[in-house]
A = this chain, B = another copy of it.
Amino acid sequence: KRVLDAGQSWLVVSLVGACIGVNAALISIITEWLSDLKNGYCYDGWWLNQQFCCWEIEYEDENGCESWHPWSDVVLAQWIIYVLFAATFSFTASHLVKNIAKYAAGSGISEIKCILAGFVMKGFLGFWTLAIKSLTLPLVIASGLSVGKEGPSVHVACCVGSVVAGLFARFSRSHGKMREILTAASAAGVAVAFGSPIGGVLFSIEEMTSNFSIKTMWRSFVCALVATFTLAAMNPYRSGKLVLFAVTYDRDWHFFEIFFFVILGVFGGLYGAFMVKFNMQWAAFRRKHLAKYPVVEAVSLATLTGVIAYSNRFLRIDMTEGMSILFRECEGGGDYDHLCQTSVQWSVAISLFVATVIRVCLVVVSYGAKVPCGIFVPSMAVGATFGRMVGILVKALWSANKESGIFAVCQPDVPCITPGTYAFLGAAAALSGVMRITVTVVVIMFELTGALTYILPTMIVLLVTKAVGDFLGTTGIADEAIRFNGYPFLDKDDHAYNMAVSRVMRTDLHTLPVTGTTVREIEETLNSTAVQGYPIVSNDGRNILMGYIGRAELRYVLDKAKKTQGTAPDMPCSFASETDDHDEMEFSGIATGPGVGMDEDISMELIETTATHEVLKLWPWVNQTPLSVSPQLPLEIVMQLFKRMGPRVILVEDHGMLHGLVTVKDVLKYTATETGEMRSRWDETQFE
């Protein structure tokens, strides 16, 4: 039985991975086609994008081959058509999102973090979210908005995981098992988005899960592997490469360059802080003034982006393509659009600076619009343009002072500075600055490009970024969005010193007496309260804690009893353990023990053994040993218990007597009022 179960888990994880891979390949293909459609169409077949249209033609200039027809030969007309297409795409996308699946908007990473931490948000990972997000993502990317598809790709992957695993009873019945699948799916989402399987696994560890286990890591590994493999086998880019922008740097770095790398790190930290601050301010503005006009907002943004971006050569091209150009070495075909010409270095540097500034502004207002949108690639693009600018300036500095100072260590006759590596490091810094993840970024950058020799510089840059971010008190944009939206999430570094749990606990409890209630009374309690579960107390008035029963279990067993045995409404109910035999007690304690999210299977298995005599016996569903603490226990430790053990509720008892109970929401409510933060919205949100 156990072997079979384990086998099924692996099967489901692999199936989820395969579906994620197929879905990602389809999204890629459609995105490419739509992007090219803005510029022209293929004479040989409207369904071909520019690359495939010109597949067998050797010669290729900027406007493609003969079969590829631009919409117009006049630049102004090209521009207008480009903007019109962008507006149409964004209109379609935002319209679909608004009317069919509002959860498809945004990146979804914040919400998934909450779901993985144990909350439930109905419909967020459902089929319609999946369908609409998969469909609108290519439209949004093709519309040219300054948003990425990597964040939404994680959400899409989790939807696939939820839908596919939901077909299996083992997973649909157990939130715990489902969360394992979702964690693996989030790894696969990053893996297919970047072609970086190990980066995906690390992302799931560093960003997504709150409690790490080797088993989950291994599932993520398998899911990411299968997804990436499927994507590689489908080969959507027909390049045979998973790597988006493979570069090989021939030259190694010099120790003196670390000084300039530090500048890039500082930029990453500042960019992160700036982005988080102003994006959140813009989000507040959006909530206040734009909430009713999501379609208008998206269309205006796309039009604006199209109009502005067309004027700058680094903004006009696709962000991914732009990065692959900026990352290249100057030697060997890297001189795109005179990027490497010393004669125009100043104009190129200015152009890059303008691109950086405009892109930052566009990202601030675009990320969070009511369409699928991620911030990974836009951040990297910002970092890459800034980094390349720094690289060009350093190269100019070197050209002017070849013999002197720090540049004396360079060999005289070969190029000393590789501006492409600065772009690479800048991209890493910006990504790390805005997401506040480090190890993941190193691995992703390094799987993206294969630039192995630059692993130490990358790490140094991210160290500086992290230090700057910590100094400025920035948190990751996903965590900031959680706070902004008031989602119930216990942050990794939420602290509450000098506080006993008794201050926080809820004392207005809905308890059930261990004996002496009837089915009708329980039904009434169920209907009149909205809590997740009920502590069972002794009915001698001393309030001795006897156990805990979840709302879902109680509902289930009552319904079943009514349906199968036609239980009368005034039948007495008993939560008391049947037997005084110790072994039996223990067994039942185990059967229903896991209130701590461990192996929820066990409790499910016993549900079939209903016991019905003249008294409705509910004890097999009672968790007779709920996690309980004493009132003096520091809140700090209760928070640790929540984070590491993952229970939904912790009971507070003093010498056997029930004093109160505490949930994550109670803790958050307390810390919010205590620290004066505006963090009281979770009662309105959809999280359960």
Q: Which A residues lie at the B interface, using CB under 8 A?
A: 197-198, 201-202, 205-206, 211-214, 217-218, 221-222, 225, 228-229, 232-233, 240, 242-243, 246, 248, 252, 255, 438-439, 442-443, 446-447, 450, 452-453, 455-456, 459-460, 463, 466, 492, 497-500, 502-503, 544, 585-587, 589-590, 593-594, 596, 598, 624-625, 627-630, 632-634, 636-637, 640-641, 644-645, 654-656
Asked if A456 and B640 sit within 8 Å, CB to CB, the answer is no
Distance of A246 Cα from B455 Cα, bound (Å): 14
CB distance from A137 to the nearest CB of B (A): 25
Within 8 Å CB of A640, what residues of B?
A: 596, 598, 645
Contact B637 A456 (CB under 8 A): no
Q: Are A499 and B586 in contact (CB under 8 A)?
A: yes
A497 CB to closest chain B CB (Å) equals 7
Q: Do B225 and A217 have beta carbons less than 8 Å apart?
A: no
- A255 shortest CB reach to chain B, Å: 7
Cβ contact of A240, chosen from B252, B492, B497, cutoff 8 A: B252
- With a cutoff of 8 Å between Cβ atoms, the chain B residues found around residue A198 in the complex are 439, 442-443, 446, 455, 459
Q: Report B-chain residues with C-beta under 8 Å of the C-beta of A641.
A: 645
A450, A627, A637: which has the most chain B beta carbons within 10 Å?
A: A637
Measured CB to CB, the closest approach of chain B to A617, in angstroms, equals 18
Smallest CB separation, A103 vs chain B (Å):
28
B633→A593 contact, CB < 8 A: yes
The answer for the CA separation of A221 and B437 in the assembled complex, in Å, is: 12
CB-CB < 8 A to A229: which residues of B? 456, 460
A586 cross-chain contacts in B, Cβ below 8 A: 498-500, 502-503, 632, 634
Give Cα distance in the complex from A212 to B212, angstroms. Answer: 6
Q: Is the beta-carbon distance between A255 and B243 smaller than 8 angstroms?
A: no
A596 — which chain B residues lie within 8 A by C-beta?
Answer: 637, 640
Sample of 21 A–B contacts (CB below 8 Å): A198-B439, A198-B442, A198-B455, A202-B439, A218-B438, A222-B463, A246-B452, A447-B452, A447-B455, A500-B590, A544-B655, A586-B632, A589-B632, A596-B640, A598-B636, A624-B632, A625-B630, A625-B633, A628-B630, A655-B655, A656-B656
Residues of B within 8 A of A593 (CB): 633-634, 636-637
Contacts of A228 in B (CB 8 A): 456
Q: Nearest Cβ in chain B — how far from A95, in angstroms?
A: 39
Instruction: Report the separation of the CA atoms of residues A654 and B248 in the bound assembly, to the nearest whole angstrom.
Output: 66
The list of the 6 closest CB pairs from A to B, nearest first, reads A655-B656, A450-B452, A212-B212, A644-B644, A500-B586, A589-B632
Give min CB distance, A205 to chain B, whole Å: 7
**Min CB gap A148→B, angstroms:** 22
Q: A198-B443, A233-B255, A497-B590 are in contact. Are A242 and B456 (CB under 8 A)?
A: yes
CA separation between A260 and B212, bound complex, in Å?
A: 34
Nearest B residue to A630 via CB reads: B625
Docked CA distance A632–B502 (Å): 24
Q: A248-B248, A593-B636 are in contact. List 16 more A-B contacts (CB 8 A).
A: A197-B459, A202-B202, A205-B212, A212-B212, A221-B438, A221-B439, A229-B456, A447-B455, A452-B452, A586-B634, A589-B632, A589-B633, A624-B632, A625-B634, A627-B637, A655-B655
Beta-carbon nearest neighbor of A457 in chain B: B229
Choose among B205, B456, B585, B634 the residue that contacts A205 (Cβ–Cβ < 8 A). B205
CB distance from A542 to the nearest CB of B (A): 10
Tell me the minimal C-beta distance from A545 to chain B in angstroms.
9
Known pairs A447-B452, A456-B225, A636-B590; A644 contacts B211 (CB<8 A): yes
- The residue in chain B whose Cβ has the minimal distance to the Cβ of A641 is B645
Residues in B whose Cβ lies below 8 Å from that of A585: 500, 632
Taken together as a complex, chains A and B put the C-alpha atoms of A596 and B246 apart, in Å, by: 47
A589, B632: Cα distance in complex, Å:
7
> Which residues of B are found within 8 Å of A202, using beta-carbon distances?
202, 439
Bound Cα distance from A218 to B214, whole angstroms? 18
Whole-angstrom distance between the Cβ of A537 and the nearest chain B Cβ? 13
The 8 Å CB contact of A225, one of B459, B633, B634, is: B459
Roughly how many angstroms separate A400 CA and B255 CA in the complex, as a whole number? 51
Question: Please, which residues of chain B bring their CB within 8 A of the CB of A252?
Answer: 240
Tell me which residues across on chain B come within 8 A of A442, comparing CB atoms: 198
Q: A460-B229, A500-B586, A587-B498 are in contact. Are A439 and B636 (CB under 8 A)?
A: no
Q: How far is the CB of A242 from chain B (nearest CB, A)?
A: 7
| A439 pairs with B632, CB closer than 8 A | no
